[in-house]
Structure 1
């Protein structure tokens, strides 16, 4: 199937096409899954024209109509699985972390969220026969937690594990990191991430993993008090839908880490719960709760999934990376 150019869509002239590209709408698919208001603002056109353009893009890209269950099943076969490097963890996730889905990791500081994110940034670059996706990674770092030294240790750990020499420099070249300085910047970086993914989509290492570490830190710091809650949730919702779009368009896994807050009034059960309320809860496809155990062990609990039973897995966070305990 040949790629449709933006200029070939109905109601899109050369000037409008250029404005759309400048605003980050570089493919017909990106237009097809956007809202008229979003497009109208980006291309400085009326909402009714924007709606017509979206309709033309949907017809052209074959997105947005009804399809039968067997067609969905066929599309689901394209979903890739990314190994975590731990047998029990992979089994609990039905073979690994899904592409075209948002997986949320939440837990207290030191529970291993960033460690899992670093390990996945390494594993995604492995060939498919070793549980990777032969792809590169985009990381939106909001808390300055990305450490190239840690990637180096994990790559050296892989060399040990598989008995073949991996070059840490090569792995680092395929990790694209951007530091987000506030929540607005964080949301804008998703557009930049999509542009980068679009540039790399026909390369040897297309983007197969998007990581946001952490999703909620800036929102939590900037929106204080109940009065700002609705505004915060609206922005968080937009941000998560932007990430889901990245996952769908590029058949990539999306990993977001999340902080927890304490519920001192909880008499029974665990007094910690994730930030972000129902918006994050409903938008994340898989929710994983990480907590510390003895020594280097961490317990990963699958709290929510559309197709897997709840379960728990024990992993070890070691210098060479995540391992079976």
Structure 2
């Protein structure tokens, strides 16, 4: 709280600064006697201070959900989304990824998870009017080497994929210079990355997207079944730090997750999380699920995509849960240019 804004004698403000009282919470949760000891002020002075602080706080009245929804110009971060570089996928997600929170993309191998992550790293560099944020991305690899060749392939095809963007705008963006790559082979390296390295890039304004590929790889070999409590604590700590970075810098966090075989039908745990009919489930369990804002699942089908997509396998993307959009599914495919959603009418 800015004490200089309060309508009280400067002598009282000076005493508050000397006592190192930093917030209104400290002022109102401490007893009168404790405040007297640390500030050396009289009881009437303390009453005047609390009264002035209360009046200042009342000026900042609470906002309703309806105000946040209607007054989009005042609260852009509540409504702005990071597009996926595809109109169909953006429609599925009601515009794209929320700018604050952790979005998980889970699926089996070859479902197209990394392809979507790479496309997001390019999409974030477009202007805000074209679904981007005008800055770069951090791509944290935890197991495989970064797919640089595929990224370069997608960069060269941007003018064909993003036909909604003027060609001169696409040419001006130096996509390869704004994807920062970090390798983290274990939890200690990953923790150092998100606590020391990432904040520097975010503070400089160089990035506004964090991609983790994949979160499950960090825990797959380090913890046995008996270490479930320790594992849960690590997941909560990592989740809290990622949430802090996302909130402080209005930066979406996109985590790729692996899947595990589903338990047998009828299991009580399975019924509680609503995946009774699935063969696979996202890894890391309920401790990690509680950290997520949105969970998406992708899968590779046995069908070929319809024309004009030639020799492309059909894939599905499903919204499992999110507070702002309903459960829904759409089809997509991956070709040389990138990830492309397919409308229902195309099937």
Same fold (TM over 0.5): yes
Distance 2:90 2:285 in 1: 27
* 321, 328, 334: which one aligns with 1:317: 334
How far apart are 1:311 and its partner, in Å? 0.2
Give the 5 Å matches for 1:103-114. 103-114=103-114
Q: Residue 155 of structure 1 aligns to a residue in which SS?
A: helix
Aligned residue in 2 for 1:269: 277
Match of 1:239 in 2: 238
Q: Which residue of 2 aligns with 1:303?
A: 320
Consecutive unaligned residues of structure 2, counting only runs of 5 or more, are 3-15, 23-56, 267-275, 304-311, 343-347
Q: Distance in 2 between matches of 1:323 and 1:84?
A: 10
Residues 168, 323 of structure 1: alpha-carbon distance in 2 compared, 3 angstrom cutoff: farther
The CA deviation at 1:266 is 3.5
CA distance in 2, matches of 1:300, 1:104: 12
Alpha carbons of structure 1 residues 235 and 313: separation in structure 2 relative to 1, 3 Å: same
Q: Secondary structure at the match of 1:137?
A: strand
Tell me which residue corresponds to 1:81: 81
Give, in whole Å, the separation in 2 of the partners of 1:111 and 1:168: 32
Q: Is the 8 A contact 1:93 1:308 kept in 2?
A: yes
Following TM superposition, by how much is the alpha carbon of 1:168 offset from its aligned partner in structure 2, in angstroms?
Answer: 10
1:172 and 1:296 mapped to 2: Cα distance? 28
- Give the 3 Å change call, closer, same or farther, for CA 312–167 of structure 1 in structure 2: same
Taking the aligned partners of 2:199 and 2:281, their CA distance within structure 1 comes to 31
Q: Is the 8 A contact 2:125 2:173 kept in 1?
A: no
Instruction: Give the TM-score taking structure 2 as reference length.
Output: 0.69
Alignment of 1:73-222 (within 5 A): 73=69, 76-79=75-78, 80-161=80-161, 162=163, 164=167, 166=170, 170-191=174-195, 192-198=197-203, 200-201=204-205, 206-222=206-222
Q: Secondary structure at the match of 2:157?
A: helix
Q: Distance in 2 between matches of 1:274 and 1:299?
A: 16
Q: 1:265 Cα deviation (Å)?
A: 2.1
Q: Map of 1:30-69 to 2, 5 A cutoff?
A: 67-69=62-64
Moved over 3 A (4+): 9-13, 70-76, 165-169
Whether the 8 Å CA contact 2:105–2:254 is kept in 1: the answer is: yes
Q: Deviations over 1:131-188 (max 9, x none)?
A: 1111110111101242122121212221123362645992111111110011121122
Report deviation, 1:12. Answer: 12
Gaps of 5+ in 1: 3-8, 14-27, 29-61
Report if aligned partners of 1:105, 1:290 keep a CA contact under 8 Å in 2. Answer: yes
Deviation of 1:66 after TM superposition, in Å, equals: 8.7
Say if 2:330 and 2:341, in contact at 8 Å, map to a contact too. no
Alignment check: 8 A CA contact 2:121 2:137 kept = yes
Question: Which of these two proteins has the greater Rg computed from alpha carbons?
Answer: 2
Distance 1:188 1:86, change over 3 A: same
1:59 counterpart residue number: none
Give, in whole Å, the separation in 2 of the partners of 1:12 and 1:242: 31
C-alpha contact (below 8 Å) 1:151/1:168 kept by paired residues: no
Deviations 1:65-93 (A, max 9, x none): 99432575567532421111222221121
Deviation at 1:190, TM superposition (A): 0.7
Q: Secondary structure at the match of 2:238?
A: helix
Describe the shift of the 1:231–1:127 C-alpha distance in structure 2 as closer, same or farther (beyond 3 A): same
